[in-house]
Copies of this chain bind each other. A is one copy, B any other.
Amino acid sequence: MSKQAAALTLTDITADASCCPPITEHRIPAETAAILAPAFKALGDPVRLQLMSMIASASEGEICVCELTPAFELSGPTISHHLKTLREAGLVDAERRGTWVYYRARPGILHQLATLLTAQTPVDA
């Protein structure tokens, strides 16, 4: 229930690259945490992390599902399930062209998460 709302709001945030200062600067508001946590959760599975890296590092900016599926020892539906999770988290976009479906990363949200984690190193001595 909150998942869908979060995905929608996260999509909005993706358009605004200055929403979230690093966690080393300010405490994250509960709302922001509720919105961004699903994105981290989506990356919290080894298979999805690899899928995300394969999609993000694809040479033409996109990659066919037919290349992703055989790269894992998992069934097609399972890979599809993980891709759906990444999609709902706003991390990737999917597009069907002819027989195959192509996935591409959404750099905005990745940049968002990276900025959140980037330390200005005022922490510790």
A19 at the interface (CB under 8 A from B): no
Q: Within the assembled complex, what's the spacing in Å between the Cα atoms of A51 and B123?
A: 15
A80 at the interface (CB under 8 A from B): no
Contact B50 A28 (CB under 8 A): yes
Contact A53 B37 (CB under 8 A): no
A95 at the interface (CB under 8 A from B): no
Q: A33-B50, A44-B40, A114-B114 are in contact. Are A26 and B121 (CB under 8 A)?
A: no
CB within 8 A of A46: which of B34, B46, B115? Answer: B34
Q: Within the assembled complex, what's the spacing in Å between the Cα atoms of A111 and B49?
A: 17
Most buried by B among A23, A33, A117: A117
Q: Collect the chain B residues with CB atoms within 8 Å of residue A58's CB.
A: 123
Contact B123 A61 (CB under 8 A): yes
Q: Collect the chain B residues with CB atoms within 8 Å of residue A110's CB.
A: 23-24, 117-119
Chain A interface (Cβ < 8 Å from any Cβ of B): 22-28, 30, 33-34, 36-38, 40-50, 52-54, 56-58, 61, 104-105, 107, 110-111, 113-115, 117-119, 121, 123-125
